[in-house]
């Protein structure tokens, strides 16, 4: 039983270290949390995608992905284009001035639009597959059953806890976002993160 708990905490620690890094997905969840727009849908989709990918990785799909470099290339270029356009959108929002929270709450964003965006940001990034499926899956597979299941459970719990905290905890930052300038700064940061990710995907080797 001690070994099972060790595998659980090992998976949780490694999963947390991979998911907490600033990225397109996290930036989108943070912004939705600040706007209080479709937070539950966005958080649920992010957590579900991670849970499924971690499960596939533990199940052995990581080896298959490593043998399909063409598929990763397609995802890489599609992801770079999408993230670049999303970054451009963020820069335009910063330039136009999105307004404070009351104005932002009136933005017309449908649940379908939010869901589509977060799915694209989550899946059109090859690093997601390399981190959750290949890396986590490869390390988790080293544990004999039921250790691999405990490892996967730990990584999955980290993902669920992180996205829930990020999405619903963002409202604690609302006092800093009552001014237009704060939204402009956030959009500039988001735009820079998106373009940095796009460049890293384009020039990846």
Taking only the tens place, the pLDDT of each residue in 162-171 is 999 989 998 8
For residues 171-181, average pLDDT: 77
Classify residue 45 as exposed, middle or buried by CB count within 10 Å of its CB (0-12, 13-18, 19+): buried
Contact predicate 184/90, CB 8 Å: no
List phi, psi (to 5°) of 203. -95, 15
Distance CA 103, CA 117 (A): 21
φ/ψ (deg, to 5) at 97? 85, 105
Per-residue pLDDT reduced to its tens digit, 86-136: 788 888 877 876 554 444 444 567 889 999 999 988 888 777 777 777 777
Tokens found for residue 94: 């910063």
Q: What is the pTM of this model?
A: 0.75
């Amino acid at each position: 039983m001690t070994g099972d708990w060790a595998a659980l905490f090992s998976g949780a620690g490694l999963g947390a270290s991979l998911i907490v890094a600033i990225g397109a997905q996290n930036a989108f969840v943070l912004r939705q949390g600040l706007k209080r727009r479709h937070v539950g849908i966005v958080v649920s989709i992010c957590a579900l995608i991670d849970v499924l990918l971690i499960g596939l990785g533990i199940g052995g799909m990581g080896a298959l992905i490593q043998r399909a470099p063409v598929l990763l290339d397609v995802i890489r270029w599609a992801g770079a284009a999408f993230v670049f356009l999303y970054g451009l959108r963020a820069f335009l929002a910063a330039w136009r001035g999105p307004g404070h929270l009351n104005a932002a709450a009136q933005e017309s964003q449908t649940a379908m639009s939010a869901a589509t965006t977060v799915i694209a940001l989550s899946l059109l990034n090859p690093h997601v597959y390399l981190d959750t499926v290949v890396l986590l899956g490869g390390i988790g597979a080293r544990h004999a059953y039921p250790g691999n299941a405990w490892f996967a459970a730990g990584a999955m719990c980290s993902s669920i806890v992180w996205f829930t905290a990020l999405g619903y905890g963002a409202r604690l930052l609302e006092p800093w976002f009552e001014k237009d300038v704060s939204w402009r700064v956030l959009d500039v940061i988001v735009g820079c993160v998106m373009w940095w990710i796009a460049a890293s995907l384009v020039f990846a080797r």
